[in-house]
Structure 1
Amino acid sequence: MGNIQEGQTGFFRKMGLIILGSVLAAALAGCKDQNDKPAASPATPSSNVTASQSSKDVSEQAQEKGDSAMNPVTANESPSDTQEHSQHPAVKGVSYLGEWEISKDLPSNISALSDEEITDYIGTKLVYHEDRSDFNGEQLRNPVYSIQSQTRDEFEEGYKVNLDDWSLKGDSIQEIQVYKDQGKTQEWDEYAGTTYLIDGKLVISIEGQFFELKKVDPDSQPPTVKADRIKAGSKLSGLTVKEVTKNEDGTVSQITFSDHITVEGSYELAETEEGLAYQLTPDTAYKKMLPVLDEAMASDPIIVLISGDSQHKEEKGHAKLTISNYSIALAQISRSAELVKLIKD
């Protein structure tokens, strides 16, 4: 009996050791599994952002997208270039950089200009370049451009106009402001200091009177005469040189062309030393037809002499004029011609 009890006691001791060993092995295995797993990564900022912060971020992103849509970067610029330099991108596919001229007046309800003053502004030149802005000869060096957006309702209410009267559509207007300084605190105080892009058209306000601008085609620049090389019979821009008049010292004083030329533009009756004449300012499309001494002469009017028996003596207007004996006077730096026919619009 004593032997049986001793045997049983030894058996239970062995079983206890086996069970204890199994428990320890399982515990060690569990620790190994935990140690083999990668440590949990710390919470990312996004996981700790509150709902209100998420909404703010989305709002800021939308605002940034809105700004970039209003100031799109041109193909040859990086976003950083646009931010560091004066902003001059295209706005909705229309680049406002370049040379422009006032092409027509638009219906305006608060205009302070007379009809005569409105007519005088037609053809006025505007220049927007990276290094300068120019309005009718008044220049600003190193301008800074800024673009802001406003709704159609805001624009119409502010200026008491109706875009339907201008045959323009769209619910958003881009205002292009020209500044004198990088801090954008000093606005350029010329009329061309502010323009508006509406439905792909650039417009300007002068004393409450709106005008539409037309971009000047670089290819429309007129041919330049080289006076020391030209001679009778020469061809220039499709015209034939009829006569080259020279001074006693042999320098050229006047060049006259023989062909009849039909030119469209604005004209005004005037008394000159040679007699009654029209001061004709050709439209841009017709300027390239007429040779000049230099580019500046292209903007000067042509003195079109009217014969005594001419029936066309209206004071001013816009028409097609057929002229002859188109001449360039080098001493007076002027142009003249003789009226053949006037065709009213």
Structure 2
Amino acid sequence: MFGCFCSTLSQKRHGHLSVCLLTDLTLIEEAGKPRYSWIQQPIRTATGDHNRSVGPHPGCHQPLGDLGRDPVKDLTQPEVSHSHSEMYEYPLPVVARWGGTKLQLCINFLYGAAEVTSLFLSVIISTLTILTRCQPIQLSCLFCKDGGLLTGQSHTTIYAIKLSFAILEFISLQQLVTTSVYYLATVLLHGISFLWMSCTTFVHGYTPAGNIAWLLAYKELKVYEKLLNYCTKSRIFLITALLVPGLQILLCYTSLKLFHSEHISNFEASLFLWAYFLVLVFTMLLFSAAAQINSLSVNWIAKFKGSGDKKLERRMHKSLMSLRLEFGNNFVETLTPLVVQEFCVRQTVSCLLVKR
């Protein structure tokens, strides 16, 4: 399994600087000492290539380069002039194939379901734009006047305008879903899942022999966790943790009310129930993976505590911190998935009792 963090800085006069850290967290046995390797790609600039090669890698089509002693500082604080505009882009790891694991099947299911559902909803909303007028959910309602769409125009003009709005509705919804899936699934969920699988491989492969090597390997996992938190905690994960549970409550409440309504067909209610199911699976998978990362690291640190005999090992153990994924000023721990679902259930029941 490998991942790639890229930082792209755009400059007005000197082109661009692209830094890519290719991370291979597959457990390696080297002279009886397990470790995790950090394979680095070159720093390429518009003025030239800096190729301080540290060895070939089959996945790299360019010479390898040295990012320095501190990969976090190299990626987050590149040395460039502050007089130029800078733009940072951090695509999170593209997770390699994990075979037929349940986690991979769940992620593939979410991708396929999101693609089919978004296409289906786009077609429905576009059709409603042509058949109905001035519905609040549609963009065309912004141009309605006195209950009509551009009243006073000919039928051909009205039909052409509605067809244009239908195409606009389809494109805008597809763009919204594509952007959401990229940030929520490709960036956030893939990054957390990759760290979870790496942490699981690390913990299951632990042996009491070679404690220093295992401590260094754990610190490399900690660097990966810092990079992931740097990319997601202030915006992507924070917004997801705040809005997705609210969306889950809204969809659950709406689907239950529609099933008990006499004027709404079961098909329309099933659409909301299907959307609620997708959000529920995503929420459980996201917070459960983040909670497992914290739990595995805490248990490993506690297990390692009594195995260090040397003074250096004991000091290094005292400096260890558990892996935890942050959103804002908070972080996900073992019971966070249950707390989130309890909050969603309580709020849904409260809404149903209030509207009863």
Question: Fold-level match, TM-score > 0.5?
Answer: no
Larger Rg computed on CA atoms? 1
Q: Which has the higher strand share?
A: 1
Q: Which has the higher helix share?
A: 2
More RCO (CA 8 Å, sep 6+): 2
